[in-house]
Amino acid sequence: MSIEYDAFPAPWHESAYQYEISENRLANYQVLSVAEADLPRKLIGYSGFWLMAGEAHVSTIAVDMAWRGRGLGSLLLLNLLVEAYSLNAELATLEVRRSNIAAQSLYLDFQFKIVGGRRRYYQGKEDAIIMTVDPLDRMYRSFLHQKERELYQRIGAGDMDSRDKGTAIRETGND
């Protein structure tokens, strides 16, 4: 929850996440953690989406403030999109604050396109931009493989196998 409170001006309540994880059958979440010396693994990021009628609706992506700027938001988005693909999602959508230029840049880098907006979507004050990537097909999956290679070179894990890096990229029946 500390990441949630640092990442968002209007954070979700803990009970919302409890519902998402334990009861929402449409919800798919992932966490990113690191091992530090002899300490227990530390959660440093998370993301999630709802799979509804062939659409993966990105509900959240957040990275601990101390770990930002290292490509970890990209890693979370990459894994989220690969998981959506493996679950036969046909497209991915999301809303992003008009003022959140960094997030918009991340989504554009993953080929999301601006398709609309929602006036005063956030707390009745700030507008949202609606973004979509469509279709999540074999060509887009190839794009994700290329993004994976680039991302792991960026974060210094270029020689590691995907399984060692914890990515969700794997062979599926969608090919």
Give per-residue pLDDT as tens, 6-54.
Answer: 888 778 899 999 999 999 999 999 999 998 888 889 999 999 999 999 9
Give per-residue pLDDT as tens, 45-77.
Answer: 999 999 999 999 999 999 999 999 999 999 999
Query: pLDDT-derived band of residue 78, with 50, 70 and 90 as boundaries?
Result: very high
CA nearest neighbour of 147 among 92, 73, 86: 73
Q: State the Cα–Cα distance between residues 159 and 30, nearest whole angstrom.
A: 24
How far CA 45 is from CA of 52, 67, 77, 121, 166, in Å, comes to 24, 9, 11, 24, 13
All domains in the chain, ordered by first residue: 2-165 (3.40.630.30)
User: Quick check: bond before 9 cis, omega within 30?
Assistant: no
Higher pLDDT, 90 or 152: 90
Strands 27-34 and 126-133: unpaired
Query: pLDDT-derived band of residue 163, with 50, 70 and 90 as boundaries?
Result: very low
Give per-residue pLDDT as tens, 91-119.
Answer: 999 999 999 999 999 999 999 999 999 99
pLDDT confidence of residue 168? 40
pTM strictly above 0.95? no
3-state secondary structure of 123: coil
Q: Stretch 141-154: mean pLDDT, rounded? A: 94
pLDDT confidence of residue 74? 96
